[in-house]
C-alpha cells in the first residue's frame, strides 16, 4: 500500500513512472516518453534538450550507460524515469534540477552517488532499488533531502543505515528489503509521518525499541519484516502478527532483551551474508 497524496496531488505519479514502457511513445512540448527504444546514449535523442518546457522524461528499459551533465538544462523537469538501464554513475549536476519531484534510477549499475546528491530542492520520491549501493556510497548530504516522502533502497548492499535517516521528517514510505542490514537505527522511530516500512529479507535479529513509537499497525500502515533471522522472542511474536511484535518491543521486557543482545553481539554472532544470493543480483549479472 502506497499513499503519497500528501506529498503531491498526483498520487498515481510514481505508479506510472515505474511503468513508463506502457505509456504511448511520444515527444511533445511537456512530455517525452522514450521507453524501450534501444537507446544507449542521449546523443541519440538530443532533441529533448531543446524542449525547454519538458516536465516528464521517461527513458526506462533502454541501454543508457551515462547521463550527460547537460541534463541540468531541463530546468522544468518534474519526473525523470531511468529505470532499467546500464547507468554506472550519475552527474553531479542532476541535483540542481530545481523542480524535480520524482527520480527513478532503479535497476541500474550504481555503486555510488555523486557529491552533493542531497541538494535537490523539491524531490519527493527517490527510487534507487536494484543497484549496488551501500552505506559508503552515499554523499555526506544525502539525508538532507527534507522534502522526501518515499525512499526506495531495496535490493542493494546496505549493512547499516545512517542515524541521519531521522532528518527525513516527511518520509512516509521507506523500503529497505533485500539488503544486508544487520541493524536499523533507532532514529527511524522519530519519523512522525512514516506509515510503511519494508525491512524483509535482511540479516536483522532485533529491532530498536524506538520503533514502537511509530503507528505501523493502522488501516493505512504497513510493516513487512519477514525473512530475517530474528531472535526467538521476536520470531514467536511475528507468528502471531506484526501488531504483536510492536506491542512486544514497547515492553520493558523487550528493552532488557535488546540491551543485553546488543552488548553481547560480536562479529562472530552476526548472521552471515548470503554471497550466493548477492552474486545473482540483476545489477551484478547485467554488469558482466
For residue 223, what are the β-bridge partners? Answer: 197
What is the spatial distance between Cα 156 and Cα 281, in angstroms, rounded to a whole number?
9
| Pairing, β 79-81 against β 150-152 | unpaired
What is the spatial distance between Cα 192 and Cα 216, in angstroms, rounded to a whole number?
11
pLDDT at residue 93, rounded to an integer: 98
pLDDT at residue 276, rounded to an integer: 64
Res. 22 pLDDT band, cuts 50 70 90: very low
pLDDT at residue 21, rounded to an integer: 33
Helix (H) or strand (E) holding 104: strand 102-104
Cell numbers found for residue 9? 496531488
What is the spatial distance between Cα 124 and Cα 144, in angstroms, rounded to a whole number?
12
Residue range 88-134, pLDDT digits in tens:
999 999 999 999 999 999 999 999 999 999 999 999 999 999 999 99
What is the DSSP secondary structure assignment for residue 36, as one 8-state letter? T
Q: Rounded mean pLDDT of 239-255?
A: 97
Residue range 135-178, pLDDT digits in tens:
999 999 999 999 999 999 999 999 999 999 999 999 999 999 99
Helix (H) or strand (E) holding 264: helix 252-264
Q: What is the CATH number of domain 13-285?
A: 3.80.10.10
Amino acid at each position: 500500500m502506497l499513499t503519497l497524496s500528501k506529498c503531491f496531488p498526483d498520487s498515481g505519479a510514481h505508479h506510472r513512472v515505474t511503468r513508463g514502457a506502457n505509456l504511448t511513445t511520444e515527444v511533445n512540448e511537456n512530455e517525452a516518453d522514450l521507453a524501450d527504444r534501444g537507446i544507449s546514449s542521449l546523443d541519440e535523442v538530443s532533441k529533448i534538450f531543446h524542449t525547454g518546457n519538458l516536465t516528464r522524461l521517461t527513458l526506462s528499459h533502454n541501454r543508457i550507460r551515462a547521463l550527460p551533465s547537460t541534463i541540468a538544462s531541463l530546468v522544468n523537469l518534474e519526473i525523470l524515469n531511468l529505470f532499467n538501464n546500464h547507468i554506472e554513475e550519475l552527474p553531479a549536476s542532476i541535483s540542481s534540477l530545481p523542480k524535480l519531484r520524482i527520480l527513478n534510477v532503479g535497476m541500474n549499475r550504481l555503486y555510488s552517488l555523486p557529491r552533493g546528491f542531497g541538494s535537490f530542492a523539491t524531490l519527493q520520491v527517490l527510487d534507487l532499488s536494484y543497484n549496488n549501493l551501500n552505506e559508503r556510497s552515499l554523499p555526506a548530504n544525502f539525508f538532507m533531502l527534507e522534502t522526501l516522502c518515499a525512499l526506495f533502497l531495496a535490493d542493494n548492499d546496505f549493512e547499516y543505515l545512517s542515524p541521519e535517516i531521522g532528518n527525513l521528517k516527511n518520509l512516509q514510505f521507506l523500503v529497505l528489503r533485500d539488503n544486508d542490514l544487520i541493524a536499523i537505527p533507532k532514529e527511524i522511530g522519530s519519523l512522525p509521518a512514516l506509515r510503511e516500512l519494508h525491512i524483509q529479507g535482511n540479516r536483522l535479529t532485533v529491532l530498536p525499541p524506538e520503533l514502537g513509537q511509530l503507528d505501523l499497525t493502522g488501516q493505512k500502515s504497513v510493516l513487512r519484516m519477514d525473512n530475517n533471522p530474528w531472535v526467538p522472542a521476536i520470531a514467536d511474536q511475528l507468528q502471531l502478527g506484526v501488531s504483536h511484535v510492536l506491542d512486544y518491543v514497547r515492553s520493558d521486557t523487550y528493552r532488557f532483551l535488546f540491551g543485553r543482545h546488543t552488548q553481547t553481539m560480536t562479529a562472530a554472532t552476526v548472521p552471515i551474508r548470503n554471497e550466493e544470493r548477492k552474486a545473482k543480483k540483476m545489477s551484478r549479472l547485467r554488469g558482466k
